A and B are shown apart, each in its own frame.
Chain A
Amino acid sequence: MRSLFAVANRPEVVSLAGGMPNIEDLPRAALGEAAAKLIADHGTQALQYGSGQGEAFIRELTCEIMALEGVNANPDDVVMCAGSTQGLDILTRVFIDPGDVILTEAPTYVGALSTFAAYQAQIVHVEMDGDGISMAALDQALATVRAQGKTAKFLYTIPNFQNPSGITQTMERRRELVEFAEKEHLLILEDNPYGLLTIDGTPKPALRSLESDQIIYLGSFSKIFSPGVRLGWIVAPPAVREKLVLTQEAATLCPSVFSQFLVKTYFDTFDWRSQIVEFNDMYRARRDAMEDGLAKHMPEGMTWTHPAGGFFVWAQLPQGLDSQAMLPRAVTAKVAYVPGPAFYADGFGSRYMRLSYCFPTPERIFEGTRRLGDVIKAELAMRATFGLDALEDGQTSPEQAPLTGKDQHGQGPAPDIL
């Protein structure tokens, strides 16, 4: 199925599939000059090995950035990594033995699922509602895991504009979640790549801002600057942090020193706060085009989330439709999306799709929703022709049977797919 995404990079195709930030508006020429000066003036350091934990100056910068979301962190507790995805990898390596349980939202980030699968973790999904992860479902899931004699090593959560659902945890839900974690001694991995990309209102305080030792925080420069520099960070309590540094040294010796210098140069030289405002204005126009297009073009029975930031809308198809089985029809119609099962470890989610609005222009996004609407209507008509329109949810057919094992691997698009 992943192979079908290959067409997404063709200009004829409106790709609502990828998650690449639009970095067109970065001050590239001036940044190029600053980078040249960086190499000329500080090349012997920037092009050299560095600290396994990351350079002190960049760890201080991450604390300044996290303060925008209410996080009071100490640079000594920060470990730099090659994007937050590598942070997730070393955290999983430190915490997980094969068969250990990880709790995640349902659905959740496909990249995290791949990382967890690589360490043979058992994923237990927890339902969400419009306010974020469901506390009742979390309580029940944890009880079930414990009743089986297992330990849930941590809960992985994306509180802001969750990938793929676009849902943001309310403050009340955040407080409930942290309170629950304290009471149950449940470790939380808070992944927050999109928090500063709040396009309606102001960023909500992060879970980590609630000052709990139960929370490990993952941050990233990918969306507020550049994914190509591959730089993210972990904030962890000292005992964990030391293990992470040793693990990081074993994995890579040190995070890219050049990237750390380049990022620091950008944040010192340019008005990065205004750049984020510009990014948000751009993404707001794209989100609005997506919402307008969906409202205009989707058939009855289709529902979708209304994100206040981030990159993604999560749409539910009319009853009986299967987003994976429909993808080739969409590709033929020159529009692409990511089918829902990519975001579940258990193969469910066939009635859902993730639609991203981060990369195409508003006009293309609107056109993409038109094509998608036609595809869904044609699929509905086809199913009606074959008497499959009355198929109830849960009734499976060959294409709708949950995927397992290797079939599940690689369901999402590669990182360089638009």
Chain B
Amino acid sequence: MKVVVLAGGLSHEREVSLHSGRRVAQALKSAGLDVIESDVTATLVDTLKSIDDPVVFPTLHGGVGEDGGLQQALKLLGVPYVGSRPSVCRRAFNKAIAGPLVSEAGLTTPRSAVLPHDMFTELGAGHLVKALAEYIGFPMMVKPVRSGSSLGATRVDKLSELPQAMVGAFAYGDVNIVEEYVEGTEVAVSVLELDGQLQALPAVQIDPVSGFYDYTARYTAGETKFTTPADISDAAAQAVAELALSAHRILGLRDLSRTDAIIRPDGTPVFIEINSAPGMTETSLMPMAVEAAGLDFGEVCARLVKQAAARGRD
């Protein structure tokens, strides 16, 4: 068996992905596995075909790596891979789909509205912007529905800031989601699924120095204070762990996921989003949680690979 760690891709998060891929590849090598690293290029299929018993560990963020495109291709090629099935990736990646699905299943989500840019063009932005302001209220978050690492996400405090925030988010894609801003403690809960057992890892609390967990805060050492386990009550920790496990189950994720949530002052965890390909960089949340759980990151990655190999083709 040879593990092919995929990283890079053409998405806005290419650099993060390259860092994630390097980290995972080194971890797998330290666990004694035979590993190669590859970008998603025209030579990938030939590479996979030239290997006996390849298993892919995708560490692509954004774009085809997270929207199910890559997983669909691997399924067609009959190559086992770590992570969720194509259709599951698709619904998890799209905030406009994942949010309503978990909400319907009973999880608490922020009030939100999803609009493509065509709607603003066809109906006139003025009316819709005002309607958004009335429906969601301020402060609010404006985000592209298909993006990660907070790229294109802006907190909006007043009506006059909303048009610019919408344009900024539309630079990343054709559809935006506007959500109520949830006050509270920001946490991330990683979920591991090993040998059929779902396990929520300790919540990582996120306190960005700037107050907003944006791209710089995520990937610059020292820009964010991470606390693991989170400085929250046992009841809140239990509730947010349940939230992450539920979201993982409801959406049908496999192997691993990371749910981002905000715990309101009353202890209620609010689902913000879920990631089927969590970041694995030096400052990423899932590796911190793995360590906090007393697990070895390399061993966890190796077990995920062996599990995918045993599962075989989708």
Contacts and interface: CB of A to CB of B under 8 A. Distances in A.
Interface of A: 3-4, 6-7, 10-13, 325-329, 331-332, 334, 379, 381-383, 385-388, 397-400, 406-407
Nearest to A12: B10
24 contacts: A3-B16, A6-B18, A7-B10, A7-B11, A7-B14, A10-B10, A10-B14, A11-B41, A13-B10, A326-B171, A327-B171, A328-B152, A329-B172, A332-B12, A379-B167, A382-B170, A383-B167, A386-B164, A386-B166, A388-B164, A397-B161, A399-B168, A406-B216, A406-B220
Interface stretch (B70-78, B120-128, B180-188, B300-308): B120-128
B165 A398 contact: yes
Contacts of A11: 41
A379 B170 CA distance: 9
B138 to A, nearest CB: 14
A411 to B, nearest CB: 12
B163 A386 contact: yes
A327 B172 CA distance: 9
Interface in B150-166: 151-152, 154, 161, 163-166
Contacts of A386: 120, 125, 129, 163-164, 166-167
A323 B165 CA distance: 15
B163 A388 contact: yes
What bracket does the count of chain B residues touching chain A fall in? 35 or more
Interface in B204-258: 215-216, 219-220, 223
A12 B172 CA distance: 18
Given A325-B168, A328-B151, A385-B120, 12 more contacts: A6-B14, A10-B14, A10-B39, A13-B10, A325-B171, A328-B171, A388-B164, A397-B164, A398-B161, A399-B164, A406-B216, A406-B223
Nearest to A13: B10
10 nearest A-B residue pairs (beta carbon): A397-B164, A6-B15, A386-B163, A3-B15, A6-B14, A329-B171, A328-B171, A386-B125, A328-B172, A399-B168
A28 B240 CA distance: 61
Contacts of A406: 216, 220, 223
A397 B158 CA distance: 12
Contacts of B12: 3-4, 7, 328, 331-332
B117 interface: yes
Nearest to A388: B163
A295 to B, nearest CB: 26
A78 B185 CA distance: 59
A385 B171 contact: no
B249 to A, nearest CB: 33
Contacts of A328: 12, 151-152, 171-172
Nearest to B122: A385
Contacts of B219: 3
A98 B235 CA distance: 51
A31 B57 CA distance: 42
Interface in B98-146: 117, 120-121, 125-126, 129
Contacts of A383: 167
Contacts, number: 80
A388 B13 CA distance: 28
A325 B151 CA distance: 11
Contact of B163 (A10, A326, A332, A387): A387
A407 B216 CA distance: 8
Given A3-B215, A6-B18, A332 B172 contact: yes
> Which residue among B12, B166, B167, B172 has the maximum number of chain A CB atoms within 10 Å of its CB?
B167
A18 to B, nearest CB: 15
Contacts of A387: 125-126, 163
A398 B215 contact: no
A382 B151 contact: no
Nearest to B63: A332
Contacts of A385: 117, 120-121, 125
Contacts of B167: 325, 379, 382-383, 386, 388, 399
Contacts of B172: 328-329, 332
A332 B171 CA distance: 8
A382 B117 contact: yes
Nearest to B124: A385
A324 B119 CA distance: 25
Contacts of B168: 325, 398-399
A6 B13 CA distance: 8
A96 B223 CA distance: 28
A326 B167 CA distance: 9
Nearest to B121: A385
A197 B173 CA distance: 40
A311 to B, nearest CB: 24
A331 B151 CA distance: 13
